[in-house]
Structure 1
Amino acid sequence: MLKLLLFICLTCWVRSDTEQKCQEFTDLSIQSAITGTDLIVKLLLYTRKNQNCSESLSEYNSTDSTHLDVTKKTVFIIHGYRPTGSTPVWLSEIKELLLSVEDLNLIIVDWNKGATTLNYFTAVQKTKTVADILKKWIDQMLAHGASLDSIYMIGVSLGAHIAGFVGQMYNGKLGRITGLDPAGPSFTGKPPNERLDPTDALFVDVIHSDIDALGYRKPLGNIDFYPNGGTDQPGCPQTVFGELKGFQYFKCDHQRSVFLFLSSLQQSCNITTYPCDSYFNYKSGKCINCEAFQPMSCPILGYYADKWKNYLIQKDPPETKAYFDTSADKPFCMYNYFVDFITWNKSTRRGFIKIKITDNAGNTIESKVNSEAATFQQYRQASVLAGFYEDFEKISRISLTFSTRTLTGPKYKLRILRMRLRSITYPERWKLCRYDFVLLENIETIFKPIPCQGRDK
């Protein structure tokens, strides 16, 4: 009996000790959202030495930490509004991926008690209090040798504005802030000191994936990325009805910014983006010149976007919008080409080009980007954007179909002096051409391209 009591006591002690050292993110329920929650902020530290067991940090004292190394980069992950109280589905993955790419301090800012409520505006009111708590804790880090430029905050939705508030309190000296679809409601139209702003850190990058609903439409950073124009994301439900939709309809676009960022950490492909003043101009082929970024290419999305920091912050004003298209599934990569045409029709033609490419093995893929209608004028170059979910290093055949998409009226011909296919994703590849042929409307034309010659290279 004595041994049994000792075993029970030892088990309880071990369990208590484990719970104290390995605290988890606060997981609440819809019941908590209905009744509302008072704000409690927990800071959960992960490093490569304790990847699977968080260390709960004392709110205002960094000297109590076992694993915190203030000489390393410190990344804060700040979640947003939690209408159901559940743990963010992406939290475990972002922790694992960040620690896999860099030896750093990773601090999960758990303010689920406070963010969990059915009243969104109640959560908004608590954002500045969360920022004040983080400021006091960072002050402790600075007192023990940390530097502001080594602090990187990644904020999701409301969390993006919390990061901005912290950055303002340090006069924009934080190293970096990444805003993942910063919240729009309650922040749209507010002055810079009431939201995330480009001056809140030495470098601010933002991904906007739901600008027509839950996200913020206008630029907020030194570079603002707009996947698929920032609105409807491929693979997300377009209506609230149907199998496996419902709540996904409301959060899928908003949450896509997080998954795009996660994709950049996996490095299975780099998502290249194209600085442009509008999505329309990007789709029309007017924003593909990346020569200004030499010796690098156009900016890539996500974790490594700061490689373009020096170029971006030296602009006047130091703000850039960048557009790109993605696929519907992870890792969301698109392989982009531009197809340039010079035509010799005397009359101007306006229409759409459907493009397919085939490799040496006979595999064929069709462009998934719905480009804007192109205007074909005599002896002037027109460009059509083509984006593919897959890529072929060697292309054996190209298929083109021209259409005006009119149901009545005559069928038109497009007389081509030169067609040129060039990869934007891999600009070092050979450009492929075809000379002097005719496209009949709604008739597929298939041909074998040749390497471009002379000035077409």
Structure 2
Amino acid sequence: MLKLCFFICLIYWVKSDEEKKCPEFTDLNIGNALSGTELQVQLLLYTRENPTCSERLIEHNVTASEYLNTFKKTVFVIHGFRPTGSPPAWLGDIKKLLLSAEDINLIIVDWNRGATTVNYITAVENCRKVAEILKNYIDQMLVDGASLDAMYMIGVSLGAHIAGFVGQKYNGKIGRITGLDPAGPSFSRQPPEGRLDHTDAQFVDVIHSDIDVLGFKKPLGTIDFYPNGGMDQPGCPKTLFSGLQYFKCDHQRSVFLFLSSLKRKCDIITYPCDTYLDYKRGKCVDCEAFQPMSCPVLGYYADRWKNLLISMGSPTKSYFDTSGQDPFCMYNYLLDITTWNKNIRRGFIKVKITDYTGNTLESEINSEASTFQQYKRVKILTGFYQDLDKISKISLTFSTKTLVGPKHKLRILQMRMKSLNNPERMFPQKLPYIDFF
């Protein structure tokens, strides 16, 4: 009898311990990727009531959830291809930051079994299956009082297209989709129904950070953001010697830019424009079409411009430059230069600003050589990683970056520098000339 009691108590203790254990994102390894994984999806719910210990949602029983409130906004986070099997490095941060920003249902869509494989095509084929599972669960949430208007899907790489497929199933009535560098391979030639598209939700915002390799180049959203032109992100490795980071750094930058917007250390201001070159030439920095609002900001709060962007009709492309590390913000200035040389001068500008306490910042404009003609105004965009409140001195260096040819002087009739982050600040300065090195 004593033995029987001990056995029953032991079973109860083990069961109780299992119930207390928090469900976690599936952690796999390169061995799993080599052998391949069968698709399994688990939905992990976090709320402000259970911010650190997830609740695994039961696919066919919404009412069984202890924490899910179907009358609240629900955010789905969907990862992409996992060739090594490990959980995404950004997973912990996005959970914490999203719950800090708003009182929501946060559902992490874990399809690591199905995304972990060395065969990328297999992961691509699983995308529509994941979308179908999500659709089935959302249907039950709708029956239990949820609204499509309050559904928000954040998809990374392949996850962006999964979000698009879910949105298509509801004829674009989902509230919002954010695509973080949507995958390009296997999707770049697909029609709208075969990938993420601006019609998949009421508002679709997309960050393109690796358009020349792993990301999708063309616009996909209501507004498409292209940091640093959409490729070669500052701070990312430039050579193969950096290993795996060389391949994934640009692609992942979209995620870290989005996370930065949640931290609110600074707003990353963007500038709607047809091309990155036009943006660098200062042609699109006034945002006149967006008055009385300011230029759109990147990330979580981009939907503040939703109604205005939708009213403009066609999808909007927006460009901006960043620094190489968090919080990634740049302090942008527009240089307005009038020259009076008799002959055309063409070269690169380096700008240095100094405040009254002697602090100095320097910026080199390398996007494309500028052309200076007699009595012509030239506008050039430049940016600094920090901001100086009271500038006492502005100096320029002009260079062709060639070792041959005669020295000349670029004569400046007038120069003004306007802060784009603080438009009320204007710095006029007249200089006799700038040496041509």
Range of TM-score over shorter length: over 0.9
Distance 1:102 1:193 in 2: 32
Q: Among 363, 371, 392, which residue is 1:367 paired with?
A: 363
Please say if 1:432 is aligned against 2:427: yes
In the superposition, relative to structure 1, how do residues 7 and 387 fare at CA in structure 2: closer, same or farther (>3 Å)?
Answer: farther
Q: Among 289, 292, 296, which residue is 1:292 paired with?
A: 289
Deviation at 1:6, TM superposition (A): 7.5
Deviation at 1:372, TM superposition (A): 2.0
Letter in 1 for 2:124: V
SS at match of 1:288: coil
Distance 2:139 2:97 in 1: 27
In the superposition, relative to structure 1, how do residues 379 and 70 fare at CA in structure 2: closer, same or farther (>3 Å)?
Answer: same
Deviation at 1:282, TM superposition (A): 1.2
The 5 A counterparts of 1:209-288 are 209-241=209-241, 245-288=242-285
Deviations 1:285-332 (A, max 9, x none): 221121221222111100001111111111232x01111111111111
Indicate the residue corresponding to 1:174 in structure 2.
174
Please say if 1:388 is aligned against 2:388: no
SS at match of 1:126: helix
The 5 A counterparts of 1:62-73 are 62-73=62-73
Deviation at 1:118, TM superposition (A): 0.7
Distance 1:113 1:368 in 2: 46
SS at match of 1:270: coil
Letter in 2 for 1:113: R
Letter in 1 for 2:385: Y
Letter in 1 for 2:343: S
Whether the 8 Å CA contact 2:279–2:285 is kept in 1: the answer is yes
SS at match of 1:226: strand
Distance 1:15 1:251 in 2: 39
The 5 A counterparts of 1:168-207 are 168-207=168-207
Distance 1:273 1:4 in 2: 66
Deviation at 1:9, TM superposition (A): 4.4
Instruction: Report the TM-score, using the length of structure 2 for normalisation.
Output: 0.97
The 5 A counterparts of 1:80-119 are 80-119=80-119
SS at match of 1:373: strand
SS at match of 1:333: coil
SS at match of 2:174: coil
Deviations 1:311-359 (A, max 9, x none): 1111232x01111111111111111111110112232222221101112
SS at match of 1:197: coil
Indicate the residue corresponding to 2:148 in structure 1.
148
Q: Among 11, 14, 17, which residue is 1:12 paired with?
A: 14
Deviation at 1:5, TM superposition (A): 6.4
Distance 2:214 2:399 in 1: 37
Indicate the residue corresponding to 1:452 in structure 2.
none
Letter in 1 for 2:433: V
| Higher deviation after alignment, 361-370 or 39-48 | 361-370
Whether the 8 Å CA contact 2:78–2:110 is kept in 1: the answer is yes
Deviation at 1:10, TM superposition (A): 5.0
Whether the 8 Å CA contact 1:353–1:384 is kept in 2: the answer is no
Indicate the residue corresponding to 1:341 in structure 2.
337
Whether the 8 Å CA contact 1:374–1:383 is kept in 2: the answer is no
Gaps of 5+ in 2: none
Whether the 8 Å CA contact 1:369–1:388 is kept in 2: the answer is no
Whether the 8 Å CA contact 2:349–2:365 is kept in 1: the answer is no
Whether the 8 Å CA contact 1:335–1:390 is kept in 2: the answer is yes
Distance 1:84 1:360 in 2: 52
Whether the 8 Å CA contact 1:336–1:386 is kept in 2: the answer is yes
- How many residues of Structure 1 are paired with residues of Structure 2 in the alignment? 435
Whether the 8 Å CA contact 2:350–2:364 is kept in 1: the answer is no
Deviation at 1:13, TM superposition (A): 2.7
Deviations 1:16-73 (A, max 9, x none): 1113xx2000111111111111111100000000001111101132111111111111
Distance 2:130 2:433 in 1: 64
Q: Where has structure 1 moved over 6 Å in runs of 4 or more? A: 1-7
Whether the 8 Å CA contact 2:269–2:296 is kept in 1: the answer is yes
Deviation at 1:139, TM superposition (A): 0.5
Whether the 8 Å CA contact 1:368–1:388 is kept in 2: the answer is no
Identity of aligned residues (%): 66
SS at match of 1:253: helix
Distance 2:271 2:408 in 1: 33
Gaps of 5+ in 1: 443-457
| Higher deviation after alignment, 50-59 or 361-370 | 361-370
| Higher deviation after alignment, 223-232 or 341-350 | 341-350
Whether the 8 Å CA contact 1:416–1:436 is kept in 2: the answer is yes
Whether the 8 Å CA contact 1:224–1:321 is kept in 2: the answer is yes
Distance 1:326 1:69 in 2: 38
Deviation at 1:135, TM superposition (A): 0.5
Distance 2:36 2:202 in 1: 36
Distance 1:95 1:265 in 2: 11
Distance 1:437 1:11 in 2: 85
The 5 A counterparts of 1:297-336 are 297-317=294-314, 319-336=315-332
Distance 1:254 1:369 in 2: 24
Whether the 8 Å CA contact 1:163–1:177 is kept in 2: the answer is yes
Distance 2:10 2:253 in 1: 47
Letter in 2 for 1:150: A
Instruction: Report the TM-score, using the length of structure 1 for normalisation.
Output: 0.92
